[in-house]
Amino acid sequence: MTELEVKNLVYGYKNRRVLEDISLEISAGQFIGILGPNGSGKTTLLNNINRWLKPQKGTVFIGGQNIEHMSPKILAQNVATVPQETSMNLGFTVEEIVMMGRNPYLRTFERESPEDLAVVEDAMKSVGIWEMKDRLISELSGGEKQRVLIARALAQQPKVLLLDEPDSHLDINYKWEILDLLKNLSRNLKIIVIAVLHDINLASLFCDKLILLKKGKIFKAGSPHEVLTEENLREVFKVNLKISTGSYGRPMITFPQPVEKQQKVQNFHGIHVICGGGSGEKVLYFLQGKGYKLSVGVLNVGDTDWKAANDLGIDVVEAPPFSPIAKERAKVNRFCIDKSDAVILCNVPFGYGNLINLETLKDAVLEDGKKTFVLDETPIELRDYTDGLATKYYRQILTKAIVFGSFDEMVDFF
């Protein structure tokens, strides 16, 4: 059943059309991603749905009701928005911020009821921040602050949740967590979640449907497989790229290159590095200096290579210090492997705590033919602390990899 309907929506500033003839039908429980180049109307579409802007033509219906006929309080009970830029008072606690989401249900000067307190508690627990309810908002990381804003929106108990670039300014770990959270919220709470996103690969992985905008019009809408084709993305973003199927059965983009710039073609641009214990430090500095786009993982926080990657501003898939790598972190690592054009496996010692890194790469190599380079400076048998399991995986990888016997050999190649 359609919960949100947008019919023939048109919006513009003065003589410039920003949105033209936008029509959508979205059911409850769906996670929708809005994609498009800068200036294509993504944020403007959100702001017409929540009535922050008034369309020049067309209508928005929620639950069959025209939002133009809703009072501001009733509208806020139906639509909640997490904007891209939000100024939060440094003096508020997390719980006080989330409690603001109950304002649409309170009269002037009315105190929160036990029901309001219960709704806020549920909202905070649903995004995993209940334990930090008494902390000041200024004490939180970027990912934690984003969870607080989402909880505040959920406290409105909306039918539609709108988010403008919820993963901006977050590293790959927090991006994954936030989008996974939004997907679960849409399913578990049976609400519509619509997010403007820039990372096309993450949108493909987490969204049920995608809306691709071009110059204020819907160029294509549908499943990730229907929307994310080489032809569609070339037409909208003006890039040469390749679409492949990732490990989760969703389209993945590799080899982006501007059409207008006839640059020297490289076999690969994005490289994922598997390292640890200092084995990757000089590799990271070298590749960064050569201009490659890098990601690294999984590394424990505080590891020598983790410090180097952070100093260089490289995306790191990270795990807690001195802890075995969890399966959820390995999933993020596999995403980075799939997203990259090639992988470099450094001269890493393997124990049971980081063995899953090697197993993840082995699966990517054997199942999907991921292009892999191995820096094999020390025999694996001298680096294997897993009773032979690491050696087994390593040798399987070597059957498909290009092997360097030294760092200098790798430098000569790259």
Both 217 and 322 in one domain: the answer is no
**Dihedral pair phi/psi, residue 126, rounded to 5°:** -65, -25
Query: Would you say residue 85 has pLDDT above 70?
Result: no
Query: Would you say residue 266 has pLDDT above 80?
Result: no
Q: Distance of alpha carbon 229 from its chain centroid, rounded?
A: 20
Check: CB of residue 239 under 8 Å from CB of residue 259: yes
pLDDT band at 240; cut points 50, 70, 90 = confident
Q: Which amino acid is at 278?
A: G
Closest CA to 312 of 328, 296, 299, 300: 296
Residue 265 lies in a domain: no
Residue 34 lies in a domain: yes
Residue 262 lies in a domain: no
Looking at residues 304-311, what average pLDDT do you find? 87
Angle CA 67–55–42, to nearest 5:
100
Residue 300 lies in a domain: yes
Q: How far apart are CA 223 and CA 31, in angstroms?
A: 11
Pairing of strands 2-13, 16-27: antiparallel
Residue 264 lies in a domain: no
Residue corresponding to tokens 């590891």: 303
Q: How far apart are CA 365 and CA 296, in angstroms?
A: 17
pLDDT band at 91; cut points 50, 70, 90 = confident
Both 243 and 391 in one domain: the answer is no
Range of the domain at 378: 270-413
- Could you give the number of structural domains in the chain? 2
Check: CB of residue 325 under 8 Å from CB of residue 331: no
Last residue within a domain, chosen from 254, 289, 321 = 254
Both 304 and 182 in one domain: the answer is no
What CATH number is given to the structural domain containing 387? 3.40.50.450
Angle CA 155–169–227, to nearest 5:
80
pTM exceeds cut of 0.75: no
Both 127 and 205 in one domain: the answer is yes
* Residue 408 burial (CB count, 10 A): 9
Residue 223 lies in a domain: yes
Residue 124 lies in a domain: yes
Amino acid 138: pLDDT? 83
